[in-house]
Amino acid sequence: MYIPKHFEEPRTEVLHELMRAQPLATLITMSAGGLEANHIPLQIVASTNPLGTLRGHVARANPLLVGLRSDVEALVIFHGPDAYISPSWYASKVESGKVVPTWNYAVAHAYGYVRIVDDRDWLRTQIDSLTTQHEAQQREPWSVADAPSDYIEKMLGAIVGIEIVITRLLGKWKVSQNQPHGNQTGVIAGLRAAGTGSAIEVADLVAEAAGPKGLS
């Protein structure tokens, strides 16, 4: 991933926060037949590894499991909020007209080796943990134990666990850090006026990156 220095986000805790908030990741692996891409919710869990460990599961019928090159590093992409940036929001449009559109976004890339975990106890723990995390905001949280045990056992038999100890972690926050204060202020106002969830999230990231001047 191309990361100009001013767009680099090196803080592990910030990248983990994005990974928790946007857990549906793109897992890219190498198999005997070439590259495979799968979209899988993955949990970042505490481990002895300082960069963390990712855990999840896939269908037993998933081609990912066929010919997986476990000796080749895999890439996991977590996509944060993104938004189109109109040049009409820039103060410099009026001043010089030398402006072009762009796209702001936040993304985390995690690298590691995929380990297949075919263990029902491990899977049940992972499913319980994943469910508890995402049901926490529900008015009436659902629990795996709410379903018939024989049904859950059948479902567990249809999946296989995956675990990736993160060996490298890269973050790119492209949120108008390269723009002067007037343009940053215009971008924040334009995104908030757009009113969509993603636009507002990007506006907050631009304001955070701009520091106190971005809130003036």
Residue with tokens 């056992």: 153
Q: Is the pLDDT of residue 46 over 90?
A: no
103 CB-near residues (< 8 Å, 6+ apart) = 82, 83, 84, 85, 174
| More confident site: 71 or 2 | 2
Q: Where are the domains of the chain?
A: 5-85+101-178
Question: What pLDDT sits at residue 70?
Answer: 83
Query: First vs last Cα of the chain: how many Å apart?
Result: 33
pLDDT higher than 50, residue 216: no
Question: CA 22 to CA 164: how far, in whole Å?
Answer: 17
CATH of 5-85+101-178, one of 1.10.10.10, 2.60.40.10, 2.60.40.770, 2.30.110.10: 2.30.110.10
The strand pair at 53-59 and 43-45 is best described as antiparallel
Q: Cα 147 from chain centroid?
A: 29
pLDDT in tens, 70-126: 889 999 999 999 999 999 999 887 777 778 999 999 999 999 999 999 999 999 999
Q: Could you read off the pLDDT of 121-143 as tens digits, one per residue?
A: 999 999 999 999 999 999 999 99
> Rounded to an integer, what distance in angstroms lies between the CA atom of residue 169 and that of residue 15?
8
